[in-house]
Structure 1
Amino acid sequence: MTERVPHRNPWLVLAGFLGVVAVVAVVGGLAASSAKDVYARLELPPWAPPSSLFGPVWTVLYVMIALAGWCYWRTDGETRGFAAYGIGLLANLLWTPLFFEGGAAKAALVDIVVLDVVVIVTIVLFTRRSKLAAALLVPYLGWILYATALNTAIIALN
């Protein structure tokens, strides 16, 4: 007779996903303490968003990223999907310190291109088990592709 592992409370797991993503957001926020000043000093393309837009957009995206992970978990998601998700969170975490605190716009560009690819892979892997989980990541992908173009333009202009 095999012993059955008790199921985890899904609401606690959701809180865990929200917590992990919140750590990424907070670390990014701490690394972006001078972001407003740095952003204001940069030569920006005419299509660059105002700095006041970043906080609200990222807040919504981070909630969606956490919900995507949770929805995938609810399907007993496979390890590859979670590995891609985790790598994406790490790449996300690295971009802000590279760009704003490190002054390393080129390294940040490499990081965000990696993030673009990892999020695409994550969406593909999530789609196999949860179309909702994958769909929750699509706005995030759109935003980081836009950010990739912005990062590239900033390098070219500065």
Structure 2
Amino acid sequence: MDTEQTMTDGHATPPFQRILIAVLPVVAVAAAGSLVTNPNIPTWYAGLEKPGFTPPNWAFPIAWTLLYALMAYAVWRILSLPKHLPGRFAAITAFFVQLALNCLWSFAFFGAHSPILGLVVIAALIVAILATMRRFWNLDRVAALLLAPYLAWVSFATALNAAVWHLNG
């Protein structure tokens, strides 16, 4: 589907709205996650046993900044499609479900100081990312592929979360 055509024929979400819908929720999730995570890094998290494959703390904000940008761009592409395109609403809904689970993980793991609760949430997050990618794939394969690094990072984070739970359980 030609993005320029959908913008001019009035069937896609208008450009300014599309930017707000794609960017603001992603930024809000990033900010909320940081608010609950950052105070716990030098305190609770520092005291946990961690596996040898744990990245340095400075790597996480770099990775997440890139991943959040890719996520926002992916949903922006879906929002660029005609509003009544079959599957568009379900794809956008799936995206926001996985985004909510992404935020919930920070509150489960860091906020509740619960690696096991974090593991439950992150398992659901992986399922939700896969569902989002599948729905995006049917509409815009580039949008789906933009989420592949996110899936890879969350899969790695799942292994890290499981190891932290195992070492500290």
Offset of 1:129 from its aligned partner? 0.8
Aligned to 2:96: 86
Does the CA-based 8 Å contact 1:123-1:137 persist in structure 2? yes
1:120 aligns with 2:130: yes
Aligned equivalents of 1:75, 1:6: Cα separation in 2: 8
Q: Hey, what does 1:24 align to over in structure 2?
A: 29
Structure 2 CA distance for partners of 1:6 and 1:68, relative to 1, 3 Å: closer
Alignment RMSD (CA, Å): 1.7
After TM superposition, give the deviation of residue 5 of structure 1 in Å: 6.0
1:75 counterpart (52, 77, 81): 81
- Bigger drift between 29-38 and 44-53 goes to 29-38
Q: Distance in 2 between matches of 1:82 and 1:61?
A: 17
- The TM-score with structure 1 as length reference comes to 0.91
Structure 2 counterpart of 1:34: 39
Q: What CA distance in whole angstroms lies between the structure 2 residues aligned with 1:91 and 1:108?
A: 10
Task: Describe the superposition over 1:58-90 as per-residue Cα deviations: whole angstroms up to 9, x where unpaired.
Answer: 011011111110111112352211111111011
Structure 2: stretches of 5+ with no match in the other structure: 1-8
Distance 1:142 1:112 in 2: 13
Q: Structure 1 regions of 5+ residues with no counterpart?
A: none
- What CA distance in whole angstroms lies between the structure 1 residues aligned with 2:150 and 2:10? 34
1:150 matched to 2:160? The reply is yes
Matched-pair contact (CA < 8 Å) for 1:43–1:157: yes
CA contact (8 A) 1:14 1:67 kept: no
Distance 1:17 1:133 in 2: 12
For residues 98-157 of structure 1, the C-alpha deviation after alignment (integer angstroms, 9 at most, x for no partner) is 111211111110000000000001101100110110011000000000000000000111
CA distance in 1, matches of 2:12, 2:144: 24
Match of 1:45 in 2: 51
Q: Percent identity?
A: 34
